């Protein structure tokens, strides 16, 4: 379900103040840049968060995994791949077809 509509007042210089919940939904805070696209055909404004430096942005993100976390994830994926590979080796493959036998084509 969509959030309820919020009515904004346009200031004397054309500025609008976004409510805190809108800023939170965009992942933005005071002082950051937002990208505004205007769809005049449908009378809609589209706001996106604008990131100048994605590397510094990633450093700020507390959810970003550390190097050790990435290594642990890779080890888990490698172990899972090895288990799957060994399991496939133990499984009996399909029966050979007559054309797979070397003497079939003589």
| pLDDT tens per residue across span 42-94 | 788 888 877 777 777 666 767 767 788 889 999 999 999 999 999 999 988 88
Helix, strand or coil, per DSSP, at residue 98: helix
C-beta separation of 62 from 69 below 8 A: no
pLDDT at residue number 3: 65
The pLDDT of residue 87 is: 93
- Position of tokens 């009378």? 43
Question: CA-CA distance, 48 to 26, in Å (whole number)?
Answer: 7
Q: Give the per-residue pLDDT at 82.
A: 96
Could you count the other beta carbons within 10 Å of the beta carbon of residue 26? 14
Task: Name which CATH class applies to 1-50.
Answer: mainly beta
Copy the structure tokens of residue 10: 């346009």
> What φ, ψ does residue 46 adopt, rounded to 5°?
-115, 125
Please tell me the distance from the alpha carbon of residue 23 to that of residue 61, in angstroms, as a whole number. Answer: 16
Q: What is the mean pLDDT of the chain?
A: 83
Global model pTM greater than 0.95: no
For tokens 């080890």, name the residue: 75
How far apart CA 48 and CA 27 sit, in angstroms, is 9
């Amino acid at each position: 379900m969509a959030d309820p509509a919020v009515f904004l007042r346009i200031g004397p210089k054309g500025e609008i103040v976004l409510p805190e919940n809108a800023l939170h939904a965009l992942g933005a805070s005071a002082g950051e840049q937002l990208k505004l696209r205007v769809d005049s055909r449908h009378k809609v404004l589209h706001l996106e968060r604008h990131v100048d430096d994605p590397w510094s942005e990633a450093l700020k993100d507390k959810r970003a995994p550390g190097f050790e976390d990435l290594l642990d994830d890779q080890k888990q994926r490698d172990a899972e791949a090895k288990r799957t590979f060994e399991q496939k080796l133990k499984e009996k493959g399909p029966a050979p077809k007559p054309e797979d036998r070397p003497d079939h084509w003589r």
